[in-house]
Amino acid sequence: MKVVSYIAQWRGIVKEAMNRTAIAVKFLCCLHITDNYFCSPVHIYGPSMLPTLNMVGDIVLAEHLSQRLGKVRHGDLVVVRSPSDPKKSITKRIMGMEGDTVTYFDPMLGDATRVAVVPKGHVWIQGDNIFASLDSRHFGPVPYGLIQGKVFFRVWPLDCIGVPGQ
């Protein structure tokens, strides 16, 4: 009789463990889908987006639907896979869409301005701080496929919470 009760008790424990594991797996799947396809937090730091974003680091939310639906526009802050270092993501502002002619100033060239035409399937991105930004002025237009998300809300630091740049 005791053996049967131990087996029944063991089965109950295993069943409870399986149920809790299933809940954890469902949660992690939901988190993965949300993070990769809908919205994810991004830590942004560095001087390239001053004064819009802080140099010591902001945490923003980036949604991943706009670039998939072709809904990014001039002036949007976007998170982009860096063309010069694919292990990194950078945050810049879209200054030109495909077909646009962009006139830009590169402080490394002195007072000279240059003109570029953004090819089909590309965007022109620049940091707000042109004196400390590695962007399209250095590596050219960026393929649309490198855009990972559009920044829509700053969550940290708390005194700057809200839509960046407003």
The strand pair at 122-126 and 77-81 is best described as: unpaired
User: Which residue in the block uniquely carries the two structure tokens 């830009």?
Assistant: 104
48, 89, 133, 136: which is the annotated catalytic residue?
A: 48
**Residue 66 bears catalytic tag:** no
Amino acid identity of residue 68, one-letter, is R
89, 92, 133, 150: which is the annotated catalytic residue?
A: 92
- The span from the CA of 141 to the CA of 98, in Å, is 9
- The span from the CA of 69 to the CA of 130, in Å, is 29
- The span from the CA of 71 to the CA of 147, in Å, is 12
**Residue 92 bears catalytic tag:** yes
Question: Hey, which residues are catalytic here?
Answer: 48, 92
